[in-house]
Chains A and B, each alone.
Chain A
Amino acid sequence: MINSGDTSWILTATALVLFMTMPGLALFYAGLVRSKNILSVLMHCAAICCLASVIWLAIGYSLAFSGDGAYIGDLSKVFLSDVTRDSVSGTIPESLFFSFQMTFAVITPALIVGAYVERIKFGAVLMITSLWLVLVYAPVCHWVWGGGWLSELGVYDFAGGIVVHVTAGVSALVIAKMLGNRSGYPDQIQPPHAPWMVMVGASMLWVGWFGFNAGSALTAGTDASMALLVTHISAATASLVWLIIEWLRFGKPSLVGLVTGTIAGLATVTPASGFIGPMGGFICGLAGGIVCYYCVDLVKVKFNLDDSLDVFAVHGVGGATGTLLVAILILPIFAGVGLGEGVSVFNQIVVQATGIISTVIWTVLATTAIVLITKKVTGLRVDDEDEIEGLDYKAHGETGYKL
């Protein structure tokens, strides 16, 4: 039975989540790169948006949300073949459920862009995205949300801590490693060319995230409302955490730092957002801000790995942190909805950790294979000269800024 209130909200939420990628994430990333690569990053996000939408229609949705397989869906909904205007999913039209989920399938591979900017071949972006949606996103989405084995196991992932952020973050790390660092990294890399653009993009992501998390309730009621509240509190808290750490450590709180904290807080609260209360949101923000901050350093300095825009440290680590925190923050003492009958916190932590670890293992294996295939078919890196000149002109024949 279709509920018009629920339908209205999810229509709105769908638009909000698409807005996260186009142009939120695109601007967030574009401001972080050098001016010679701004268009290439915008192009990556835009092309991924289009490509992921078509792949979602062709096969992604079917593999994620059909059949009763434990590991993967079937092909019954390829090109939405058995879905009509009147098909219903819960209390909303299935066409809308498809579209809402499509916007998630769009933003998740777009998050990975941050790992490979400024040096990847454009063909490799399209190839990696296509294979990744089918081999990583669709299966994990099926495991957690499509009735697969992790959902049977009782894993809690409200809006995509595992499905979106762990998959994207881990793949980012694998791709960055296999692709290699940008030439001159880390000493000769110039800083973000437009911090103001980073802030504008992050702000759009923040607003869009209301659709992402509160929309994941798939209804327009108490779950959506509380999810929106905790999302905002976590984002605000993590932003302040980042600001304070920088202020203490460097004497100056930076804008790029604050908005990076925002994204860390948003990623962290994502898996928990529908299950926790306001204090839970605050705690997610504290934890996400601190853990992600130190992971940025860990990846860059300790691993010397050029995950250029910190996708793993912010999204992967944030998403995993939130996924573990759900098991505790869901408790009624934190104003959460409470665990299932007879389930202990410890049991739930084990379930959550199982979800994360199995996803990490599958993602590493599948992404490695994808990168190896891509290397054979399109090649991975542009040549050194193109990298120095910048991808805007060399790959797309355009320049972002004219004198």
Chain B
Amino acid sequence: MKMITAIIQTHKLDDVRESLNEVGIMGMTVTEAKGFGRTKGHTEIYRGAEYQINYIPKFKIELVVEDSIEEKVIETISKTAKTGKIGDGKIFVWDIETAIRIRTGETDEQAL
């Protein structure tokens, strides 16, 4: 099993969810996140005064998938979340040791 974490542009969330559904994922977790990468932040101006906003709003999506669809999921996110502009985000992948469904006690692939 792999966990795939992707930081994406806020306006791409619905597109990503829809296209991942087509790939056959069983669920995912979404968090409103803030951060900076190459874009650093941006400035906002209120009553003539400039404020440096160091963290830009993003969505962080996390999903655990079977190894067999890992490549497909990564490809889907990469394709759907891409605008080609700076700030499109990143994808991280790592191994998952165990998964347990709390309700039934099922483990690993059965728990996804």
Contacts and interface: CB of A to CB of B under 8 A. Distances in A.
Contact of A293 (B48, B49, B51): B48
Interface stretch (B39-47, B60-68, B83-91): B39-47
B48 A296 contact: yes
Nearest to B49: A300
Interface string A17-38: 0000000000000000000000
Contacts of A246: 45, 48
Nearest to A293: B48
A310 interface: yes
B51 A256 contact: no
A310 B51 contact: no
B30 interface: no
B28 interface: no
B53 A191 contact: yes
Nearest to A260: B47
Interface in B5-64: 44-49, 51, 53
A296 B47 contact: yes
A26 to B, nearest CB: 19
Nearest to B52: A187
Nearest to A294: B48
A368 interface: no
Nearest to B51: A191
Main SS of the interface on chain B? strand
A191 B46 contact: yes
A252 B51 CA distance: 15
A254 interface: yes
Contacts of A256: 46-47
Contacts of B45: 246, 250, 252, 254
A361 interface: no
Interface residues of B, number: 8
Q: How large is the interface on A (under 10, 10 to 19, 20 to 34, 35 or more residues)?
A: 10 to 19
A369 interface: no
Contacts of A293: 48
Contacts of B47: 256-257, 260, 296, 310
B51 A189 contact: yes
A191 B44 contact: yes
Interface string A244-263: 00100110101011001000
Contacts of A189: 51
A190 interface: yes
A257 B44 CA distance: 12
B66 to A, nearest CB: 33
A256 B44 CA distance: 11
A297 B48 contact: yes
A379 interface: no
Interface string A267-301: 00000000000000000000000000100110010
A321 B45 CA distance: 26
Nearest to B44: A191
A34 to B, nearest CB: 11
Nearest to A261: B47
Interface string A219-258: 0000000000000000000000000001001101010110
A69 interface: no
A246 B48 CA distance: 8
A190 to B, nearest CB: 7
B44 A300 contact: no
A29 B85 CA distance: 37
A143 B50 CA distance: 41
B22 to A, nearest CB: 33
Interface in A185-208: 186, 189-192, 195
A254 B44 CA distance: 10
Interface in A138-193: 186, 189-192
A245 to B, nearest CB: 9
B50 to A, nearest CB: 9
A254 B49 CA distance: 12
Interface of A: 186, 189-192, 195, 246, 249-250, 252, 254, 256-257, 260, 293, 296-297, 300, 310
13 contacts: A189-B51, A190-B51, A191-B51, A191-B53, A246-B48, A249-B48, A250-B45, A252-B45, A254-B45, A254-B46, A257-B46, A293-B48, A300-B49
- In the A-B complex, the 5 residue pairs with the smallest Cβ-Cβ separation, listed nearest first, are A191-B51, A256-B46, A297-B48, A191-B46, A250-B45
Interface of B: 44-49, 51, 53
Given A254-B45, A300-B49, 20 more contacts: A189-B51, A190-B51, A191-B44, A191-B46, A191-B53, A192-B46, A195-B46, A246-B45, A249-B48, A252-B45, A254-B46, A256-B46, A256-B47, A257-B46, A257-B47, A296-B47, A296-B48, A297-B48, A300-B48, A310-B47
